[in-house]
C-alpha cells in the first residue's frame, strides 16, 4: 500500500494504512501520516465501474463545482492529486487508486441513533441536490448504465434465475414470486421518465445514511460522500434510497424479519429535512412521486440482492454465506410494510407539499 500512497501528494509520511468503513463496493483504507494528516485511500471497483477515467472526471467536476459554493472545506470531498497532478493512479495489476482528504472529526452511521441524525442526512442530500441544480448534467458520464432502470434490474433477475449459476433457485422461490408479483408496477418511475413527465437531474443515486459524514461533536451534517454514481437521475430515487436504508426499523441485512418495518415517523423526519432544502425546486409531480421512489428503490435493491445471490455473490461484498439472501428478504419485508402504510406515506408528502 505504501508504494501506492507514495504516488500521491501527501502531507507527511504514512505511518499506518488500515481497512476502513462499511461500503459494499470499493476497497477503502484509512492512511494516517506523521504530519499528522489522514487520508482515505480507495481501490476503485473496476469490475463494476468499467470506465474509471470517466468516473473520476465526473468526481473532479462535481467536487470542484461544490467547492466553489461552500465555505467550509469539510463540506465537500477533496481529491488529493498524484505527484504528476492526476486524479488517480494505476498499479501494475491495472487497479485504479484514488486518495481523498480524510474528513476529520466526522462519523458515518449505519443506523441513526436518533431522528435528528437522519434529519441531518436529509439536509445533506437536499443541499447536494440544490447545489448541483445548475451543474450541466449532460457533461456527466453514466458510470453504471441503467443503474436505476428497475425493469432492467428485473431482466437481470430473470436471466440469473434462468441460468441458476450457483444452484440456488430452489431456495428463493418465495422471494422470486414476491418480486414477480410487483414487476409491472416496478416500471412506473422509468415510464414517467421516458414519457418526459419527470425531469432528469444531477442526482447522487446511492443515498444511504452511511454515505453522509456527520460532525462527531454535534452530529450535524458535514458532507455527502461516495460520488461514484453521481449521474443524471430522478430526485425521487435519491429520496427513496435514503428512506429504504434509514427509515427502516432494522438494518438492511436484518435476518429477523419481524424487526423490519417502515418507521413513518423517520420517513416524515426525512421528508421534512429534504423538502425544507430542495422542495421549492421540485415540480409537483416530482414531489408527489417521492413515496413511489421509496417503494421502488426498496424493491429494486431487493431484486439486485436476490440477483447477486442467484449469481453466486459476485457483486456486493458479503460477510456471511446467505448475506445477499438476507438483504433481499429484508428489502421485500420493507416493501410489504410500505404497501400497508401506502396511504399514510402519500398523505405525509401531500401535507408537506401544502405547508
Ligand atoms: P463504497 O462505495 O464502498 O461504499 P465509500 O466511498 O462510501 O465506498 O467509502 C466507504 C466508507 O469510508 C464510508 O462509508 C466512510 O465511512 C468512509 N469514508 C469515505 N470517504 C471518506 C472521507 N473522505 N473522510 C472520512 N471517511 C470517509
Ligand atoms: C452499494 O457503495 P455502497 O455500499 O454505498 C450499491 C448501491 C446499493 C447499496 C446497498 C455502486 O452502495 O447501489 O443500494 O450498496 N452501490 C453500487 O447497500 O452498486
Ligand atoms: Mg458507500
Starting from the CA of residue 245, give the closest ligand: 2
Q: What mean pLDDT comes out for the span 130-140?
A: 94
Domain membership of residue 326 as a residue range? 115-354
Residue 115 scores a pLDDT above 90? yes
Evaluate: CB of 229 within 6 angstroms of ligand 2: yes
Domain assignment present for residue 13? The answer is yes
Residues 71 and 151 in one domain: no
Q: What is the pLDDT, as a whole number, of residue 211?
A: 96
Starting from the CA of residue 222, give the closest ligand: 1
Place of cell 414487476: 183
Q: Hey, whose CA ends up nearest to atom 15 of ligand 1?
A: 21
What DSSP letter does each residue of 293-331 carry, written as one string? HHHHHHHHHHHHHHHHHHHTS-SS--SSTTHHHHHHHHH
Residues 51 and 180 in one domain: no
Residue 113 neighbours by CB distance under 10 Å: 9
Ligand 3 geometric centre to CA of 353 (Å): 30
- Give the up-direction half-sphere exposure of residue 315: CA atoms within 13 A in the CB hemisphere: 15
Residues 156 and 49 in one domain: no
Instruction: Give the domain CATH number at 61.
Output: 3.30.200.20
- Site to probe by mutation for ligand 2, drawn from 77, 208, 225 as the one with most ligand atoms within 8 Å of Cβ, is 208
Q: Hey, whose CA ends up nearest to atom 11 of ligand 1?
A: 21
By C-alpha distance, which of 300, 35, 343, 96 is closest to 190? Answer: 300
Evaluate: CB of 300 within 6 angstroms of ligand 2: no
Q: Give residue 177's pLDDT band: very low, low, confident or very high (50, 70, 90).
A: very high
Residues 6 and 97 in one domain: yes
- The count of structural domains within the chain is 2
Place of cell 435476518: 255
Q: What mean pLDDT comes out for the span 115-120?
A: 98
Residues 186 and 100 in one domain: no
Residue 354 neighbours by CB distance under 10 Å: 6
- Whole-angstrom distance, CA of residue 23 vs CA of residue 185: 30
Q: Hey, whose CA ends up nearest to atom 5 of ligand 2?
A: 23
Question: Cis ω on the peptide bond leading into residue 296 (within 30° of 0)?
Answer: no
Starting from the CA of residue 226, give the closest ligand: 1
Ligand 1 geometric centre to CA of 323 (Å): 21
pTM given for the model: 0.95
Residues 212 and 328 in one domain: yes
Ligand 2 geometric centre to CA of 135 (Å): 24
- Whole-angstrom distance, CA of residue 161 vs CA of residue 154: 10
Is 245:330 a contact under the CB 8 Å cutoff? no
Q: What mean pLDDT comes out for the span 137-164?
A: 96
Residues 130 and 163 in one domain: yes
* Closest ligand 1 atom to 228 CA: 2
Q: Give residue 67's pLDDT band: very low, low, confident or very high (50, 70, 90).
A: very high
Q: What is the pLDDT of residues 205-245, one digit of tens each?
A: 999 999 999 999 999 999 999 999 999 999 999 999 999 99
Q: What is the pLDDT, as a whole number, of residue 353?
A: 85
* Closest ligand 1 atom to 24 CA: 3
Q: What mean pLDDT comes out for the span 253-281?
A: 97
Ligand 2 geometric centre to CA of 223 (Å): 18
Ligand 3 geometric centre to CA of 161 (Å): 28
Domain end: 57, 77, 104, which one?
Answer: 104
Residues 80 and 134 in one domain: no
Instruction: Give the domain CATH number at 135.
Output: 3.90.1200.10
Is 141:233 a contact under the CB 8 Å cutoff? no
Residues 87 and 131 in one domain: no
Amino acid at each position: 500500500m505504501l508504494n501506492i500512497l507514495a504516488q500521491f501528494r501527501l502531507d507527511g509520511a504514512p505511518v499506518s494504512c488500515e481497512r476502513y468503513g462499511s461500503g459494499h463496493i470499493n476497497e477503502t483504507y484509512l492512511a494516517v501520516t506523521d504530519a499528522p494528516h489522514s487520508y482515505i485511500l480507495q481501490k476503485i471497483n473496476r469490475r463494476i465501474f468499467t470506465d474509471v477515467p470517466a468516473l473520476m472526471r465526473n468526481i473532479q467536476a462535481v467536487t470542484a463545482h461544490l467547492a466553489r459554493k461552500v465555505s467550509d472545506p469539510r463540506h465537500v470531498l477533496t481529491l488529493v492529486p498524484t505527484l504528476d497532478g492526476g486524479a488517480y493512479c494505476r498499479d501494475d495489476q491495472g487497479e485504479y487508486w484514488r486518495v481523498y482528504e480524510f474528513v476529520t472529526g466526522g462519523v458515518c452511521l449505519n443506523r441513526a441513533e436518533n431522528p435528528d441524525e437522519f434529519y441531518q442526512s436529509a439536509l445533506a442530500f437536499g443541499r447536494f441536490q440544490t447545489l448541483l441544480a445548475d451543474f450541466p448534467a449532460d457533461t456527466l458520464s453514466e458510470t453504471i448504465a441503467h443503474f436505476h432502470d428497475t425493469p432492467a434490474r428485473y431482466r437481470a433477475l430473470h436471466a440469473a434465475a434462468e441460468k441458476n449459476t450457483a444452484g440456488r433457485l430452489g431456495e428463493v422461490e418465495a422471494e422470486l414470486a414476491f418480486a414477480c408479483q410487483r414487476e409491472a408496477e416496478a416500471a412506473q418511475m422509468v415510464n414517467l421518465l421516458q414519457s418526459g413527465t419527470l425531469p432528469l437531474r444531477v442526482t447522487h443515486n446511492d443515498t444511504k445514511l452511511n454515505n453522509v459524514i456527520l460532525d462527531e461533536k454535534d452530529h450535524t451534517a458535514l458532507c455527502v460522500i461516495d460520488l461514484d454514481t453521481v449521474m443524471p437521475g430522478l430526485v425521487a430515487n435519491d429520496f427513496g434510497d435514503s428512506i429504504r436504508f434509514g427509515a427502516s426499523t432494522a438494518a438492511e441485512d436484518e435476518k429477523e424479519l419481524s424487526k423490519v418495518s417502515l418507521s413513518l415517523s423517520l420517513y416524515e423526519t426525512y421528508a421534512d429535512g429534504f423538502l425544507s432544502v430542495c422542495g421549492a425546486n421540485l415540480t409537483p409531480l416530482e414531489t408527489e412521486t417521492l413515496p413511489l421512489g421509496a417503494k421502488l428503490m426498496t424493491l429494486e435493491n431487493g431484486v439486485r440482492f436476490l440477483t447477486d445471490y442467484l449469481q453466486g455473490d459476485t457483486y456486493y461484498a458479503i460477510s456471511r454465506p446467505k448475506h445477499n439472501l438476507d438483504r433481499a428478504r429484508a428489502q421485500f419485508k420493507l416493501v410489504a410494510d410500505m404497501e400497508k402504510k401506502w396511504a399514510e406515506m402519500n398523505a405525509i408528502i401531500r401535507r408537506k407539499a401544502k405547508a
